[in-house]
Structure 1
Amino acid sequence: MSLQDQRVVILGGTSGIGLATAHLAAAQGATVIVASSNPESVKRALDTLPETASGEALDLTDTAAVTAFFDRLDPFDHLVFTAGEPLTLLEVASMDLAQAHAAFELRYFGALGAVSAATSKIRPGGSVVLTTGAAGDRPGPGWSVAASICGAVDSLVRALAVELAPIRVNAVKPGVVRTPLWPDESIYEVTAKHLPVGRVGEPADIAAAYVYLMNQGYATGTIVTIDGGHVLV
């Protein structure tokens, strides 16, 4: 499988899982376009990617800015959405609904808005790969909002796969992954002890799933779980 001569747009592609996906796609011959809200993060990412890569700072919750971004782009083959922010656990008894709304703004509505703006630019044979999470299948205390976002994205993937056909729409469902969104090392240590694989995920582990789904021309409406066995224990 190869992405040779294909164009891949990765929203959230300047750090963590998104940047690892950009590197892997580029290694398979793709031209990658990355975007995230932090200009410095974009610059750092482009310093590590091939010269063919490009990127820009983009507020993914700004509908007009996202629409303008895709209007400027030439047609491309794959859209990947990995954008996120540090997760905040919200307990129901002390729920701040403003925080709950804000959590959905990027991870759900940001993804939906990006797909809406991008669809007309995706070339035949292309795909969309979104991001959900294992919390949707096995949440813990304080995870009601995060788990709800994951469940909403799971349903969105299946609905879009039908509505946007023949564009393929899939998602990756990571467990705990060592990225800047999880800066507390103690989380990794505690989690690793309970996982069947004995460790938490690394960005490269998860990136392989995004690239697989871009290459896999017979998969649509599919959610690939890469969680180290989290849902089993």
Structure 2
Amino acid sequence: MTLHDQRIVLLGGTSGIGLATARLAAEHGATVIVASSNPSSVERALAELPATADGTTVDLTDPAAVEAFFAGLDPFDHLVYTAGEALTLLELRSLDLARARQAFELRYFGALGAIHAAVPKIRSGGSVVLTSGTAADRSGPGWAVAASICGAADSLVRALALELAPIRVNAVKPGIVRTPLWPDGFDYEAAAEALPVGRIGEPEDIAEAYVFLMNQHYATGSIVTVGGGNVLV
């Protein structure tokens, strides 16, 4: 399968998993448009992507800015949402509700608002691919907020797969991945030893799942777990 001559909008596609997905989609023949709230991140991403790529700065927590962004785009085939802030673990005993709401604002409401604005521009046969996380299935102390966001994303995929049909709506559910969003000092080596695959995921591993879902025209309401077996141990 190929993404040749297809246009893909990647929100959060300027670093980590999003940028790896943009690179892989471009290798498959797609024209990619990346967006982020950080101008320097957009600039760095465009330096790594083919000359056909485009990029812009947009605050994904600002509904008016998101609406204006999509209003200015020509029709496209796929929306990919990978935007997120650095992972913050919040224990209940010291819970900061403002920080918890802020996490939901970008990862959940940002995605919901983007889909609302994007749907009129998605061409026939197109899709939406969101980002969940294995914390929804295997959590721990301090993960209540992060796990809740992932669970909300899972439910959103299933609901919108029906509401937006025939547009396909799916999600990728990464496990531990070596990206800047994980906390400084996180012990990747110890985590790798506990995984059945014996290593930590790289952004390129996860990117393959996003491209698969864009190409797989019989998949909707699907959530693809790519976690090295972390939900099993």
TM-score range, shorter chain: over 0.9
Superposed counterparts of 1:36-115, under 5 Å: 36-115=36-115
TM-score, structure 2 as length reference: 0.99
Whichever residue aligns with residue 30 of structure 2, its letter is A
Runs of 4+ aligned structure 1 residues displaced above 3 Å come to none
Whichever residue aligns with residue 217 of structure 1, its letter is H
Contact kept, 8 Å, 2:88 with 2:183, in 1: the verdict is no
Residue 206 of structure 2 is matched in structure 1 by 206
What stretches of structure 2 of length at least 5 have no aligned partner? none
Contact kept, 8 Å, 2:128 with 2:170, in 1: the verdict is yes
After alignment, is 43-52 or 182-191 more displaced? 182-191
Q: Take 1:206 and 1:42, find their aligned partners in 2: how far apart are those partners? A: 20
Superposed counterparts of 1:1-233, under 5 Å: 1-182=1-182, 184-233=184-233
The percent of aligned pairs where both chains have the same amino acid is 76
Shift of 1:186: 3.8
TM-score, structure 1 as length reference: 0.99
Q: Take 1:15 and 1:94, find their aligned partners in 2: how far apart are those partners? A: 31
SS in 2 for 1:66: helix
Shift of 1:147: 0.2
Whichever residue aligns with residue 95 of structure 1, its letter is L
Whichever residue aligns with residue 115 of structure 2, its letter is V
Whichever residue aligns with residue 40 of structure 2, its letter is E
Shift of 1:185: 5.0
Tell me the C-alpha RMSD between the 2 structures: 0.7
**Aligned length in residues:** 233
What stretches of structure 1 of length at least 5 have no aligned partner? none
Whichever residue aligns with residue 55 of structure 1, its letter is G
Q: Take 2:78 and 2:113, find their aligned partners in 1: how far apart are those partners? A: 16
Q: Take 1:199 and 1:182, find their aligned partners in 2: how far apart are those partners? A: 16
Whichever residue aligns with residue 168 of structure 2, its letter is R
SS in 2 for 1:200: coil
SS in 1 for 2:127: strand
User: Compared with structure 1, are the counterparts of its residues 99 and 183 closer, same or farther at alpha carbon in structure 2 (3 Å cutoff)?
Assistant: closer
SS in 1 for 2:41: helix
Q: What do the CA deviations read for 1:51-104 (whole angstroms, capped 9, x no partner)?
A: 000001111000000000000000000000000010111001111111111110
Whichever residue aligns with residue 57 of structure 1, its letter is T
Q: Take 2:188 and 2:64, find their aligned partners in 1: how far apart are those partners? A: 38
Contact kept, 8 Å, 2:87 with 2:183, in 1: the verdict is no
